[in-house]
Copies of this chain bind each other. A is one copy, B any other.
Amino acid sequence: MRAASITASFTPSGIPTSYYNLFADAGLAAAPPLDPETRAPVAPEKLAALFAGGLLEQELSPRPQIPIPEPVLEAYASFRPTPLRRAAAFERALGTRSRILYKYEGASPVGSHKLNTALPQAYYNHLEGTRRLATETGAGQWGTALAFACRRFGLDCSIYMVKVSFEQKPFRRTMMELFGAKVRASPSELTRFGRAFRAEHPDHPGSLGVAISEAIEEAVSVPGTKYALGSVLNHVLLHQTVIGQEALRQLDELGLFPDAVVGCHGGGSNFAGIAFPFVRHRLDGRELQLLAAEPEACPTLTRGRFDYDFGDTAHLTPLVKMYTLGADYVPSPIHAGGLRYHGAAPLVSELVARGLVEARAYSQERTFAAARRFAASEGLIPAPESAHAIAAAEELAAEADAEGRERTILLCLSGHGLLDLSAYDGQP
C-alpha cells in the first residue's frame, strides 16, 4: 500500500502540516477548464484577474503534498484538530449494530468547515497585495467564514448572499457584519448583471449561480479586488483535506478504519475534505464505500449530466467538466441553502464518473428527521446541509443491520445548525 496519505506529518497538537493533493498523488487527471470564448484550455493568466497566484498554483499543482503556510497553521490552531467522536447515543437511538463516528467541523469559530479554506484564501491574497475579496454565499456559512478570515488578514470583504437565504437567515448576516463584511441580497442592484436579472425576474429567490456572477463582476471591475469561491475549485477542495487527514489519524489512534465515509454534497468541498484522503486507500485496493449525500431538490450527482458547463448564470466563469443540472437551474428554496448549486466539483465528478464515489439523494423531510434524532441523542444541532450526511449514515447502518453486518461509518458533520433553528421549529 502506498502511504502518502498516511505518512502526512502533523503538528504536535495533531494538525496536518500539508494539504493532500489526491489527483497528483494518485496520477489521476481531470478534464481541464475551457475558455468560454475559444473553448480551448483556459490560460492561467486569464484566471489571474480573479485569483491570487498562490491559489492558482495550488489549483494546478503536481505535488502530492502542499505545505500549509505557517500563518494559516497558526490560525487553524484556534480550532483544529477538530474532534472525532463516536455517536454512541445516536447509535443506541437507532438500535444499530454499526459504529457511527463523526468528525465535527462545527467546532470552528464560524461554525463550519468553510474556515479551512477561507483562511488560506485570505492569507494568499493578503500576501499578494489584494485589498478586498468579493464572494457569494448560499446559507451564509461560507460568507461568515470568509468575513472572519478577511478580518484576520486585514482585507475588506464584500458578500452577495442568495436572496432566499438572506431572508431566511438574518442572523448569518449579523454575524458577517460583526466580522466587518458588507452583505447584500442577490440578485442585487449593485451589479450590471444583477440589475438586468432583476428586471427580467423580479421575484427570483436567487441562486448561487446568480450570486457568483455578481461577485465576479465586482472582482473584475473594482480595483484591488479579487474573487473567492467557497467550493468546487481544486484549491478549495485541497484546503479541506485537513479534515480527512486528521480523521484518518484520529481513527488510527482508536485502532479503527472505516467501512464507509459519508459527507453531504453541494459544491463538493466538505465531501472532498473528508473523503479524498480515504480515496487513496480505496485506490490501493482497500474495501471502502465513499458516499456523497445530496438533496433531492438539487440532485446534481444523481440526476445531472457529466459535461462541460458554466459555473455561474451569467456565463462569466470558464467551462468545467462536472455533473451539472445546467447553469440556469434554480433549486427550490430548501433550508439546506449551502447545497443549492447546479454543479459539482470537477474532481468529485471525476471520481463519481469512475465509480469510486457513490451518490444518493435525500428528501428534506428525511434529512430533518435524521437531524432531530441526532440532536436529541448527541446534543448537537446539525446544520441542514450536514443533516444529509446523517440521513445517509442512518441508511447505511440500516442496510448493514439488514445484512447482519457491523460496519464502521465515518461521517463529516460539517457544521452546526444553531442559526437554522427556525428550520427545525417548523418540523414535526
List residues of A whose CB falls within 8 A of some B CB: 78, 85, 89, 107, 109-111, 148, 151-152, 170-171, 174-175, 178-180, 372, 375-381, 418-419, 421-422, 424-425
A174/B109 in contact, CB under 8 A: no
A174 to B425, Cβ gap below 8 A? yes
In the complex, chain B residues whose CB is within 8 Å of the CB of A419: 418, 421
Contact for A178 among B110, B151, B171, B375, CB less than 8 A: B375
Known: A174-B425, A419-B421, A422-B171. A375 touches B111 (CB 8 A): no
Closest to A86 in B: B78
Query: Secondary structure at chain A's binding surface: helix, strand, loop or mixed?
Result: helix
Complex CA gap A422/B170 in Å reads: 9
A171 to chain B, nearest CB (A): 4
Are A378 and B425 neighbours in the complex by a CB distance under 8 Å?
A: no
Q: Which residues of B contact A178 (CB under 8 A)?
A: 372, 375-376, 381, 424
Shortest Cβ gap from A296 to chain B (Å):
23
Give the distance in Å from the alpha carbon of A30 to the alpha carbon of B130 in the complex: 61
Select which of B109, B378, B379, B418 is within 8 A of A379 by beta carbon. Answer: B109
B180 to A418, Cβ gap below 8 A?
no
Residues in B whose Cβ lies below 8 Å from that of A377: 151
Q: How far is the CB of A120 from chain B (nearest CB, A)?
A: 16
- Complex contact A376–B179 (CB within 8 A): yes
| Copies, count | 2
**Chain B residues closer than 8 Å to A89, beta-carbon distance:** 152
**Interchain CB contact under 8 A, A148 and B379:** yes
> Could you tell me the distance between the alpha carbons of A178 and B151 in the complex, rounded to whole angstroms?
34
Instruction: Kindly list chain B residues whose C-beta atoms are within 8 Å of the C-beta of A418.
Output: 111, 171, 418-419
Report Cα–Cα, A170/B110, bound state, in Å. Answer: 22
Q: How far is the CB of A132 from chain B (nearest CB, A)?
A: 17
Q: Please, which residues of chain B bring their CB within 8 A of the CB of A170?
A: 425
Contact among B152, B376, B421 for A171, CB-based, below 8 A: B421
A172: nearest chain-B partner, CB-CB: B421
Of B85, B109, B372, B424, which one neighbours A78 at CB under 8 angstroms? B85
CA distance A376 to B147 in the complex (A): 10
Can you list 6 A-B pairs, Cβ within 8 angstroms, ordered by A?
A: A110-B379, A151-B379, A174-B422, A178-B376, A179-B376, A419-B421
A107: chain B residues at CB < 8 Å are: 107
Having A78-B378, A178-B424, A179-B379, one finds 14 other A-B pairs with CB under 8 Å, namely: A78-B379, A89-B152, A109-B380, A110-B379, A148-B379, A151-B379, A171-B418, A171-B422, A171-B425, A174-B424, A175-B381, A179-B375, A179-B376, A180-B376
Inter-chain contacts of A85 with B (CB < 8 A): 78
In the assembled complex, the CB of A122 is this many whole angstroms from the nearest CB of chain B, namely 12
Name the distance in Å between A95's Cβ and chain B's nearest Cβ.
16
Which B residue sits closest to A108, measured CB to CB? B379
